[in-house]
Amino acid sequence: EGGGDMATSGAGDPEALCCPGAGGLALLGLAPGAPSCPHGPALLFVKTSPGKEEGRRFYACSACRDRRDCNFFQWEDEKVSETRLAAREEYNRSHQPSFTHRQNVERYNNFILLPLSKRRFCQECQQLLLPAEWENHSDHQFLCDISTAQLETPSQLLYPLENKKTNAQYLFADRSCQFLLDLITALGFRRVLSVGTPRLHEMIQSKASQEDFRIRSLLLDIDFRYSQFYKEDEFCHYNMFNHYFFGGEAARETCRKFLHQDSGERVIMVTDPPFGGLVGALSSSFKKLMAMWKETEKGVYNNNQEMPMFWIFPYFFESRILEFFPSFSMMDYQVDYDNHALYKHGKTGRRQSPVRIFTNLTPSMIVLPVEEGYRFCAMCQRYVSSGNQHCEICNSCTSKDGRRWKHCVLCKKCVKPSWFHCSKCNCCTLPNHSCEEAGAGCFVCGKAGHKRSTCPSLSRS
Ligand code: SAH
Ligand code: ZN
Ligand code: ZN
Ligand code: ZN
Ligand code: ZN
């Protein structure tokens, strides 16, 4: 098997863990009247400690899991003085981007009028520079001769914010991006709500300039650098953990309008959130976007339908996603990335990516490329990985990671090939597990089997 690594190791796979947590953090969600940080309304959490019945509730930044990015914190029952409230408001104001989206659009319009020799991009500030601004950036590294092609592919001009847990920007490999777009096109969609998928958005945008390509895209992303390249009806500064539009009612209206399907133009939402993301928070935002889509449908048609969606996420979150979206199913397609060592299609052979597509569309409609080894299972009525064998007992193609899984009669289900049935634990697990370990929960997610440093809910790698 080409590189077991990430996709198959026990650590980082919450499904490998069978025992409920003994303490940790739980998300309660968006609460009415929640205080705000520069990233919009904070989320309410509860911190539980082993042995104590009731946990203590607190608010924390919805977007940043790294305290260095945003250290907003407030106990729910904390009294906040008027002066502190005022200071907080001032702080939130001063932490907004220095240019508004409108100003950035205007700057772009001026930028494209410049001759190539005067088109500079400051790599330190991640900003297109107008000649009058050169002086202020004189000791910064910059790129020259920024071409139209470069302006059309901002995801390659901007550096990915991958070091930050907050953004976790992992860009689709061209092959995966092209696959998604081909699939969307083949399914007959004409509009794509791109939530945290700047590379898919830019692929659509640059094709939109070609004559016979009719698909439109609106990008919702927390990365404001993209506002330098897109107009106000092409990009909204948005936080997908609290459904917050930084541009206020006008931006919300842009999104609402975009979701309105006139003349039968079908919409699909595609999202690829940071994997450290809290599934509960993401789900509640996505439900709000779905409701927005539905609202505009009033009295038109398909009233009892859901907005079609592709949610791109690792397979080990399957049960979490299905909890919130029971109509979804997971596709076997392995999504590859450019700037992620573990999830990309290597030079020497294929590394297994654990990232999949979850969708509420009928699985049989999601045609996976046969030349990449996917095949159609007539019994399951969906495309599966070549290694994914149909289990007669489960009556399903049960593999999650692309390898052939084996059926355990005691567990009454298929399990990873490397697992064995432990009679002490009474379940299938890794051969080298120690039975006593079970029960000692991870500090962060409360689940057993791993420690805080390797908690799958914190980071992708
Ligand atoms: N594979 C995608 C990128 C996914 S990386 C592509 O190639 O297009 C995750 C994306 O989500 C990044 O663009 C990041 O800026 C965005 N993001 C991270 N946190 C977010 C938040 N709280 N709200 C909205 N977008 C966010
Ligand atoms: Zn600069
Ligand atoms: Zn089975
Ligand atoms: Zn166990
Ligand atoms: Zn078993």
Cβ–Cβ under 8 Å, residues 224 and 235: no
- Which residues lie at CB < 5 A from ion ligand 5? 408, 410-411, 421, 428
Give yes or no for residue 175 having a pLDDT over 80.
Answer: yes
- Measured from the Cα of 241, ligand 1's closest atom is 22
pLDDT surpassing 50 at residue 162? yes
Place of tokens 């500090």: 443
Q: Which of 34, 64, 95 is the last residue of a domain?
A: 95
Report the C-alpha gap between 277 and 287 in whole angstroms.
16
Q: Report the residue among 230, 238, 240, 246 best suited for mutation to probe ligand 1: largest number of ligand atoms under 8 A from its CB.
A: 240
Rounded to whole angstroms, the Cα distance separating 435 from 420 reads: 13
| Res 388: pLDDT | 95
To which residue do tokens 């080894």 refer? 373
Cβ of residue 146 lying under 6 Å from some atom of ligand 1: no
Locate tokens 């596709």: which residue?
331
State pTM to two decimals: 0.88
Closest by Cα among 313, 5, 366, 288 to 170: 313
Cα–ligand 4 centroid distance for 438 (angstroms) = 5
Q: Quick one: which H or E segment has residue 142?
A: strand 142-143
Ligand 1 pocket: which of 222, 335, 343 to mutate (most atoms within 8 A of CB): 222
DSSP 51: T
Confidence bin at 5 (pLDDT 50/70/90): very low
Task: Judge if 243 and 131 occupy the same domain.
Answer: no
Q: Of 68, 24, 62, 67, whose CA–CA distance to 46 is shortest? A: 24
pLDDT tier at 212 (50, 70, 90 boundaries)?
Answer: confident
DSSP conformation letters of 278-330? -HHHHHHHHHHHHHHHHHTTTTSS-TT----EEEEEEGGGHHHHHHH-TT-EE
Q: Are 216 and 181 in contact (CB under 8 A)?
A: no
167 lines ligand 1 (CB under 6 A): yes
Q: Look at residues 306, 441, 329 and name the one whose alpha carbon lies nearest to residue 17.
A: 441
Instruction: Tell whether 331 and 286 lie within a shared domain.
Output: yes
Radius of gyration of the chain (CA): 23
Which range among 3-7, 135-139, 295-299 has the greatest average pLDDT? 135-139
Separation of CA 264 and ligand 3 centre (Å)? 42
Q: Which one is predicted more confidently, 6 or 200?
A: 200
What is the model's pLDDT at position 184?
97
- Report phi then psi at 36, rounded to 5: -115, 150
428 lines ligand 1 (CB under 6 A): no
Considering Cα of 29, then 46, then 14, then 421, what sign does the dihedral take?
negative
139 and 211 within one domain: no
Q: Residue 221: its pLDDT value, please?
A: 98
Q: What is the pLDDT of residue 424?
A: 87
pLDDT at 11: 32
Q: Does 425 or 157 have the greater pLDDT score?
A: 157
Lowest mean pLDDT across 75-84, 297-306, 422-431:
297-306
Whether residues 322 and 288 share a domain: the answer is yes
Last residue of a domain, one of 386, 403, 422: 386
| Measured CA angle at 423 (ends 422, 429), to 5 deg | 20
Structure tokens at 84: 């502190």
Ligand nearest to the CA of 427: 5
Q: Ligand nearest 440 Cα, by number?
A: 4
The finding on whether 286 has its CB within 6 A of some atom of ligand 1 is no
Domain co-membership, 344 together with 212: yes
DSSP 207-221: HHTSTT---EEEEEE
Residue type at position 330: M
pLDDT at residue number 180? 98
Residue 67 neighbours by CB distance under 10 Å: 12
Average of per-residue pLDDT across 427-434: 89
Same domain, 300 and 187: yes
80, 188: one domain: no
Find the mean pLDDT for residues 147-157: 95
Question: Hey, how many other C-beta atoms are within 10 angstroms of the C-beta on 91?
Answer: 12
Rounded mean pLDDT of 266-287? 93
Residue 422 lies in a domain: no
Predicted confidence band of residue 460 (pLDDT cuts 50, 70, 90)? very low
pLDDT at 8 over 50: no
- Token readout for 82 is 């008027």
The better pLDDT of the pair 316, 459 is held by: 316
Closest atom of ligand 1 to 197 CA is 8
- Asked whether residue 330 is assigned to any structural domain, the reply reads yes
**The pLDDT value given to residue 65:** 80
Q: Whose CA is nearest to atom 5 of ligand 1?
A: 169
The answer to whether residue 423 sits within a structural domain is: no
Does residue 272 line the site of ligand 1, with CB under 6 A?
yes
Nearest CA to ligand 1 atom 21: 239
| Pocket lining: 8 vs ligand 1, CB cutoff 6 Å | no
Whether residues 128 and 247 fall in one domain: no
Residue 180 CB less than 6 A away from ligand 1: no
Q: Give me ligand 3 centre to Cα 414, in Å.
A: 4
Q: Quick one: pLDDT at residue 24?
A: 79
H or E stretch at 186: helix 174-186
* Pair 35, 80: CB distance under 8 Å: yes
Q: What is the pLDDT of residues 19-63, one digit of tens each?
A: 234 467 889 999 999 999 999 999 999 988 777 778 899 999 999
Q: Give yes or no for residue 220 having a pLDDT over 80.
A: yes
On whether residue 194 sits in a domain, the answer given is yes
Q: Is the pLDDT of residue 208 over 50?
A: yes
DSSP string for 224-283: GGGGGTS-TTTEEEEETTTTEETTHHHHHHHHHHHHS-GGG--EEEEE---TTS-HHHHH
Is the residue at 59 inside a domain?
Answer: yes
| Pocket lining: 165 vs ligand 1, CB cutoff 6 Å | no
Closest ligand to the CA of 133: 2
Same domain, 122 and 210: no
Q: Which DSSP state fits 405? A: P
Which residue carries 């772009």 as its tokens?
Answer: 108
**Ligand nearest, relative to CA of residue 141:** 2
Asked if residue 60 is part of any domain, the answer here is: yes
Spatial CB neighbours of 322, under 8 Å, sequence gap ≥ 6 = 328
Q: What is the pLDDT of residue 415?
A: 95
Q: Does the residue 219 lie in any domain?
A: yes
Closest residue to atom 2 of ligand 1, CA basis: 197
**In terms of DSSP bridges, do strands 355-359 and 309-314 run parallel, antiparallel, or are they unpaired?**
antiparallel
Q: Are residues 204 and 274 in the same domain?
A: yes
- Residue 429 Cα to ligand 4 midpoint, Å, equals 7
How many A from CA of 409 to the centre of ligand 3? 8
Give me the domain span that covers residue 126. 101-146
- For residue 129, which ligand has an atom nearest its CA? 2
What's the CATH code of the domain at 108?
Answer: 3.30.160
pLDDT at 67 over 60: yes
Higher pLDDT residue, 127 or 159?
127
Total structural domains within the chain = 3
pLDDT score for 177? 97
Task: Name the least confident of 93-107, 122-136, 327-341.
Answer: 327-341
> Which pLDDT score, from 0 to 100, does residue 445 have?
60
For residue 168, pLDDT over 80 is answered with no
As a dihedral over the C-alpha atoms of residue 102, residue 107, residue 109, residue 115, rounded to 10 degrees, the angle is: -170
Model pLDDT, residue 412: 96
CATH number at residue 262: 3.40.50
Q: Would you say residue 303 has pLDDT above 80?
A: no
Residue 91 has pLDDT above 70, yes or no: yes
Which residue has a Cα nearest atom 13 of ligand 1? 196
Predicted local distance difference test score (pLDDT) of residue 54: 81
Phi then psi dihedrals of residue 18, to 5 deg: -115, -10
pLDDT of residue 68: 84
Q: What is the mean pLDDT of residues 159-174?
A: 79
Indicate whether 123 and 222 sit together in one domain.
no
Does residue 171 line the site of ligand 1, with CB under 6 A? yes
Q: Looking at the predicted structure, is the pLDDT value of residue 292 above 70?
A: yes
Look over the chain and give the mean of its residue pLDDT values, rounded to a whole number. Answer: 86
Name the 3-class secondary structure at 459. coil
Domain assignment present for residue 3? The answer is no
pLDDT for the residue 419 = 93
Residue 164 has pLDDT above 70, yes or no: no
Q: Quick one: what percent of the chain has pLDDT higher than 90?
A: 69
Q: Which residues pair with 245 in a beta bridge?
A: 238
What is the 440 CA–ligand 4 centroid distance (Å)? 11
386, 413, 441 - which closes a domain: 386
Residues 237, 327: one domain? yes
Q: How much is the pLDDT for 348?
A: 45
Mutate to test the pocket of ligand 1, among 155, 167, 335 (most ligand atoms within 8 A of CB): 167
Which residue, judged by its Cα, is nearest atom 7 of ligand 1? 171
pLDDT value, residue 339: 72
> Does residue 200 line the site of ligand 1, with CB under 6 A?
yes
What is the three-class DSSP state of 352? coil
Out of 116-130, 156-170, 251-265, 291-305, least confident range: 291-305
φ, ψ at 19 (rounded to 5°): -110, 135
